[in-house]
């Protein structure tokens, strides 16, 4: 790096300033040797020309080249210059040479204006002014921008160690739980691809690029080659001259690129300078602008001081103890200019200049600009000022941002990754002769959800399946995510749509929309198997022992009543009521009547025969009380026993599961349900996790269908913990399944997207609109209760009523049939016995008597039967012999 020593000397050192004569000034200006020095030289010459035209100061410039490494030569040069009589020193741009020059200016108290970021600026230097934004200001501005952009994780790509100073405030504001910031040093170049490839493998999306403006475009070119300049990538450039580069080759880039600048090319001062220097105001470098403002600041302060007193500038020596006697006065005027003071040059390119007590510039407006994607150039998005260091004053309103996003979304085709899992996503069965491609290959709730969202946002989408079929879990050993989350982090998709639960761990890696479905963990269990009722199920309310005891009691009580009635005189009655002095008394309480009385009592039917004696009544009353208790108990238990087919569940909640060890229970391995039990602090759920983890064989399943199958085949010895929505879907189609208890927790399904997804707000608004319009309920009702056999079990449950079936009371009909059958048999026996007696008494054949009685029995109109019969027809003896 060469240095140009411009000694602008006005001959006649030691002359006294007079009002009517041109005053000569010596100004020492040090410039860096780069391609922009020529523009700076033009700016200096133009500034000095304006000063000469507007004031009585005469300026002469001389250029002396210096090498950047020639620190000793720079010291000799500055000492030679001050011996000619120097009013002020400007520059240099090299931090190494600056230390020598700053040391000389401080010793001699010559005003020294610096125009570069000096991290080694010595405090309390009386004659040093630094117009460049301070390290604290730049660091605070960068920290605020990172915070406003909500960058939780990012990579710093730096060129030298000064970057650590610029990032100091940003690192201070980070919390202990925030993800670590990665630092990557670019190296010497020009090939940055090796380090960029390493950065690519880190899966970071946000980058702070801290390097010289001359290297920015080349770094970004190579970043584009290694796929680090894609959609959802974001860059913050720290160099204040990044906006002045030629960005024509990056028109249409999808990456967000932001930077800082202190020169507004649209300001009146910049436009005027562009015309005078014959350049585009957009290409004005900050160093050139700061040098211009430094000259303007000094000459204005010098003029204000000269109006108050005479100023004599004499030669100084680096070896003497003499100093510039007006240095402190100029310093005070620069720090606090008069109220009516107006700058000599037309305005400041970097805005009003103010200094703190140490000579460091303060209160500077730093513009935040971003590269426009569809057009060439940058636009201002906000302004940062040290007076309010934790906030950015945005120039673009939220309405303007939303309109821009709406236009971008309309041109966007979102890559959606999902996994097969009914009813969220299923493979369509092709009709005969048809082959499906693209989105037509799938159907389900997720497809309809994206269709409704894109109908609102006017965008398009393409579905694809995640290769490993997993939701997404972090592997601490491999330090990477799998499944849907890993697919998003690898930037292979924009969105992940399925039954993906929003968890804390996943939220740290990716962003989620507002939940489109709320749910919780519940228990899937098999319904109790309906046992076929027994034929004599009506006997169930009482045990066999009770039935035997009742039968024995029935016989014993009948015998007791028989004996007591024979002993009790009151139960011996006059058979002829008209005869007051009968010769015989009659007792109606034979064994048959006693059994009938006790049987009628226990059947709650009563009897026409009633005891009359006190003792027999006491026995009968005791039996009636016993019958009342037994009949009421039987009736009370009958309804519950006949509905025992509707068995109660053996478990009703998670607490019941945790309190027993006969029924095993598990969940999906590696899912959100598994994470809930693993990380919970609740004692019951922690106990359940310990039991699940220690179970042998394992109770975890790889997929939800496997868990459902295990529940069905385990004969009520296994329960599966899964999301309530999936339980609802399965129980709608398999009536042997049921959800036990309520929800253990509360969570939601959301659409996953990469961190800081710029369209997240639009998707949230679309989901809220669908929720308010009832679209989400319609979609759920469609895929849960209408499609693919849904609603089957709901119809069966609604058709079932709490009534007894024939199977439950069939035994009563059997008893009735048996009683009728026995009655008919006894009736036939009694009839035949009567016919036989009649045949003997009437001296007729059995056949004749049978025919005669049958003929009378089938004559239903005959209501009276004669006791004494008419003579029967005489039967031929030969007929009798034959018989």
Q: Name the binding residues for L-glutamate.
A: 501, 506, 672-673, 723
CA torsion 849-855-860-863 (nearest 10°) is -40
Beta strands in 698-746 (DSSP E): 718-723, 737-740
Nearest CA to 620 out of 568, 572, 574, 542 is that of 568
Confirm if 274 and 280 have CB atoms less than 8 A apart. yes
Distance in angstroms (rounded) separating the CA atoms of residues 141 and 135: 10
Within 10 angstroms of residue 147's Cβ, the number of other Cβ atoms is 15
Name the CA radius of gyration of the chain, rounded: 53
Pairing of strands 413-418, 495-496: parallel
| Cβ neighbours of residue 195 closer than 8 Å, sequence gap 6 or more | 157, 184, 185, 186, 187
H or E stretch at 155: strand 155-158
| Cβ neighbours of residue 537 closer than 8 Å, sequence gap 6 or more | 641, 642, 807, 808, 809, 810, 811
Confirm if 262 and 289 have CB atoms less than 8 A apart. yes
Neighbouring C-alpha atoms within 13 Å toward the C-beta of 536: 8
Beta strands in 654-727 (DSSP E): 664-667, 718-723
C-alpha to C-alpha distances, 23 to 56, 84, 293, 517, nearest whole angstrom: 6, 15, 21, 81
Confirm if 642 and 537 have CB atoms less than 8 A apart. yes
Pairing of strands 521-526, 718-723: antiparallel
Could you give the 3-state DSSP secondary structure of residue 179? coil
C-alpha to C-alpha distances, 322 to 309, 490, 674, nearest whole angstrom: 20, 67, 81
If phi > 0 it is left, if psi is from -120 to 50 it is alpha, else beta; for residue 278 that is left
Pairing of strands 521-526, 737-740: antiparallel
Tokens encoding 54: 């507007």
Nearest CA to 82 out of 298, 315, 312 is that of 315
Burial class (CB in 10 A: 0-12, 13-18, 19+), 10: buried
Distance in angstroms (rounded) separating the CA atoms of residues 737 and 529: 11
Nearest CA to 258 out of 221, 233, 290, 289 is that of 233
Peptide bond into 190 cis (omega under 30): yes
H or E stretch at 128: strand 128-130
Q: What are the beta bridge partners of residue 737? A: 526
Distance in angstroms (rounded) separating the CA atoms of residues 265 and 272: 10
Strand order in the sheet with 65-67: 65-67, 2-8, 27-31, 88-90, 112-114, 128-130
| Cβ neighbours of residue 97 closer than 8 Å, sequence gap 6 or more | 3, 30, 66, 68, 71, 74
Residue with tokens 């609109």: 769
Peptide bond into 47 cis (omega under 30): no
Query: What's the DSSP call for residue 351?
Result: -
H or E stretch at 524: strand 521-526
Confirm if 118 and 89 have CB atoms less than 8 A apart. no
Distance in angstroms (rounded) separating the CA atoms of residues 448 and 851: 86
Within 10 angstroms of residue 709's Cβ, the number of other Cβ atoms is 13
Binding residues: 501, 506, 672-673, 723
Cα distance from N-terminal residue to C-terminal residue, the chain: 154
Distance in angstroms (rounded) separating the CA atoms of residues 224 and 255: 10
């Amino acid at each position: 790096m060469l240095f140009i020593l411009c000694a602008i000397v006005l001959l006649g050192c030691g002359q006294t300033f007079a009002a009517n004569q041109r005053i000569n000034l010596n100004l020492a200006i040090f410039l860096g040797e780069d391609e922009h020095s020529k523009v700076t030289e033009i700016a200096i010459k133009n500034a000095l020309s304006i000063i000469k035209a507007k004031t009585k100061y005469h300026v002469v410039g001389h250029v002396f080249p210096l090498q950047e490494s020639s620190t000793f030569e720079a010291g000799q040069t500055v000492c030679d210059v001050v011996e000619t009589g120097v009013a002020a020193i400007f520059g240099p741009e090299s931090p190494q040479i600056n230390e020598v020059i700053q040391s000389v200016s401080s010793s001699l108290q010559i005003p020294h204006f610096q125009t570069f970021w000096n991290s080694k600026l010595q405090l309390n230097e009386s004659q040093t002014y630094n117009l460049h934004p301070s390290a604290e200001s730049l660091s605070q501005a960068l920290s605020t921008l990172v915070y406003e952009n909500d960058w939780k994780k990012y990579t710093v790509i730096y060129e030298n160690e000064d970057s650590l100073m610029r990032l100091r405030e940003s690192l201070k504001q980070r919390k202990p739980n925030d993800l670590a910031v990665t630092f990557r040093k670019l190296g010497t170049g020009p090939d940055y691809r090796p380090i960029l490839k390493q950065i690519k493998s880190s899966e970071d999306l946000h980058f702070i690029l801290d390097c010289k403006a001359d290297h920015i475009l080349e770094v970004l070119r190579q970043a584009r080659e290694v796929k680090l300049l894609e959609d959802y990538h974001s860059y913050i450039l720290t160099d204040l001259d990044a906006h002045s580069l030629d960005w024509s080759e990056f028109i249409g880039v999808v990456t967000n690129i932001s930077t800082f600048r202190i020169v507004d090319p649209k300001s009146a001062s910049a436009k005027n300078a562009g015309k005078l220097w014959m350049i585009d105001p957009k290409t004005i470098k900050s160093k050139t602008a700061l040098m211009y403002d430094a000259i303007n600041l000094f000459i204005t302060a010098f003029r204000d001081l000269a109006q108050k007193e005479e100023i004599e500038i004499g030669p100084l020596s680096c070896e003497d103890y003499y100093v510039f006697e007006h240095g402190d006065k100029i310093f005070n005027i620069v720090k606090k200019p008069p109220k009516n003071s107006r700058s000599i040059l037309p305005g400041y390119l970097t805005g009003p200049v103010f200094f703190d007590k140490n000579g460091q510039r303060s209160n500077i407006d730093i513009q935040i600009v971003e590269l426009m994607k569809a057009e060439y150039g940058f636009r201002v998005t906000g302004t940062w000022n040290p007076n309010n260091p934790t906030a950015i004053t945005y120039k673009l309103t939220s309405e303007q941002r939303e309109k821009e996003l709406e236009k971008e979304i309309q041109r966007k085709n979102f890559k959606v990754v999902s996994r097969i899992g009914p009813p969220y996503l299923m493979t369509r069965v092709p009709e005969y002769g048809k082959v499906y491609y693209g989105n037509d290959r799938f159907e389900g709730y997720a497809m309809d959800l994206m269709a409704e969202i894109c109908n609102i946002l006017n965008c398009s989408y393409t579905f694809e399946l995640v290769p490993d079929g997993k939701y997404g879990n972090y592997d601490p050993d491999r330090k990477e995510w799998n499944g849907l989350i890993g697919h998003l982090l690898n930037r292979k998709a924009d969105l992940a749509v399925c039954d993906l639960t929003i968890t804390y761990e996943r939220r740290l890696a990716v962003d989620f929309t507002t939940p489109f479905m709320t749910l919780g963990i519940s228990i899937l269990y098999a319904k109790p198997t309906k046992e076929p009722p027994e034929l004599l199920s009506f006997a169930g309310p009482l045990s066999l022992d009770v039935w035997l005891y009742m039968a024995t009691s029935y016989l014993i009580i009948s015998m007791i009543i028989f004996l007591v009635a024979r002993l009790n005189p009151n139960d011996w009655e006059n058979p002829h009521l008209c005869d007051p002095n009968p010769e015989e008394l009659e007792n109606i309480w034979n064994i048959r009547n006693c059994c009938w009385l006790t049987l009628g009592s226990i059947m709650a039917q009563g009897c026409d025969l009633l005891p009359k004696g006190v003792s027999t009544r006491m026995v009968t009353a005791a039996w009636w009380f016993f019958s009342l208790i037994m009949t009421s108990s039987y009736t009370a238990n009958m309804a519950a026993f006949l509905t025992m087919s509707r068995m109660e569940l053996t478990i009703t909640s998670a607490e019941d599961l945790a309190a027993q060890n006969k029924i095993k229970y598990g969940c999906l391995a590696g899912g959100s349900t598994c994470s809930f039990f693993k990380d919970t602090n609740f004692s019951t759920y922690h106990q359940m996790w310990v039991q699940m983890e220690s179970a042998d064989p394992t109770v975890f399943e790889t997929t939800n269908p496997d868990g459902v199958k295990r529940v069905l085949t385990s004969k009520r010895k296994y329960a599966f913990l899964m999301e309530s929505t999936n339980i609802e879907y399965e129980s709608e189609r398999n009536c042997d399944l049921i959800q036990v208890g309520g929800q253990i927790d509360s969570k939601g399904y959301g659409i996953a997207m990469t961190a800081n997804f710029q369209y997240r707000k639009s998707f949230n608004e679309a989901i809220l609109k669908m929720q308010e319009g009832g679209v989400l309920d319609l979609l759920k009702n469609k895929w849960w209760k209408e499609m693919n056999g849904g609603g089957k079990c709901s119809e069966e449950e609604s058709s079932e009523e709490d009534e007894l079936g024939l199977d439950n009371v069939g035994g009563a009909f059997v008893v009735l049939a048996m009683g009728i059958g026995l009655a008919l048999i006894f009736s036939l026996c009694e009839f035949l016995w009567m016919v036989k007696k009649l045949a003997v008494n009437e001296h007729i054949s059995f056949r004749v008597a049978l025919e005669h009685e049958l003929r009378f029995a089938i004559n239903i109109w005959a209501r009276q039967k004669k006791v004494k019969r008419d003579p029967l027809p005489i039967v031929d003896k030969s007929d009798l012999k034959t018989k």
